[in-house]
Amino acid sequence: MLTGTVVNYYTHCQRQCWLFYHKINLEDNSEDVRVGKIMHELKKQDKDEIALEGIKLDKLTAEYVVEIKKSDADLAAARAQLEFYLVVLHDKGVNRKGRLECLEKNKQSKSVHTLILTEEDIRDCKTQYQQIEEFLKQELPPPPIRKPTCKKCAYFEYCFI
């Protein structure tokens, strides 16, 4: 089953997407991230996260589905993830606009992006999701293609060893 993260990764890097989907999910090297996760786990105080099949929403308002990202490093991937949420909700009869908030603004001129999907957009998305599902059935992940973001990717060592 597809998830928001899988769709995000597919847009970012197909190899990353395949590895993640097949649970070769490498640890984040950052100690801060790790400690944060442990605390969260131990406290078990789930924040207002809403989790449905394949989607975990940061916020749902009367008008928007809000997705919050730390930075705008890969906006296209973040957008694809939000689109996915909108499509899943649409199928459940919940229609919302998307709102992407980037806490750090490095590449783009604005930090809040709004997304409105037309029926046609939704059809296009669904065709793409079918393609992703087909892609994930492949026996092998696609070979790594080195790009600038690889250096920061958790898979870097695995990809280029």
Partner 1 sequence: MGKSSDTRYIFSAGDLYQKDFSIAFRKEDGNFYIPIKDTRELYCFNDITLSTKLLQLLAKAGIVVHFFGYYENYIGTFYPKEQLLSGRLTVAQALAYEQNRLQIAGQIIKGIAKNTYFVLYHYYRHGKSELKDFLDWLRKDVSRLVDSVGNIKQLLRIEGEIWARFYQSFRVFLPESFAMNKRVKRPPDNPINALISFGNTLLYTKTITQIFHTHLNQTISFLHEPAERRFSLSLDLSEVFKPVLVCKTIFDCVNNRKIMVEKHFDKKLNYALLNELGRKVFIEAFEERLNQTFEHQTLRRRCSYKQAIRLDGYKLIKHILEGKNFVPFCMEDKK
Q: Residue 64 binds what, of ligand SF4, partner 1, none (CB under 5 to 8 Å, by partner type)?
A: none
Q: Which amino acid is at 38?
A: I
Least distance to ligand SF4, CB of residue 28, Å: 13
Cβ of 142: how many Cβ atoms within 10 Å? 13
Looking at residues 99 to 158 of the shown chain, list those that interact with ligand SF4 (rule: CB under 6 A): 144-145, 149-150, 153, 155-156
Closest CA to 96 of 106, 110, 84, 108: 84
Interface residues with partner 1 (CB under 8 A)?
A: 22-27, 29, 31-32, 34-35, 38-39, 41-42, 140-141, 156-158, 160-161
Largest alpha-carbon pair distance within the chain? Answer: 48
Residues 6+ apart with CB under 8 A from 39: none
- Backbone torsions φ then ψ of 57, nearest 5 degrees: -90, 135
Beta bridge partners of 120: none
Least distance to ligand SF4, CB of residue 132, Å: 15
Q: Report the residue from 8, 15, 79, 81 that binds ligand SF4 according to the rule CB under 6 A.
A: 15
User: Applying CB under 6 A, does 159 fall inside the site for ligand SF4?
Assistant: yes
The smaller minimum CB distance to partner 1, of residues 5 and 83, is found at: 5
Q: Residue 44 binds what, of partner 1, ligand SF4, none (CB under 5 to 8 Å, by partner type)?
A: none
Closest CA to 113 of 152, 65, 157: 65
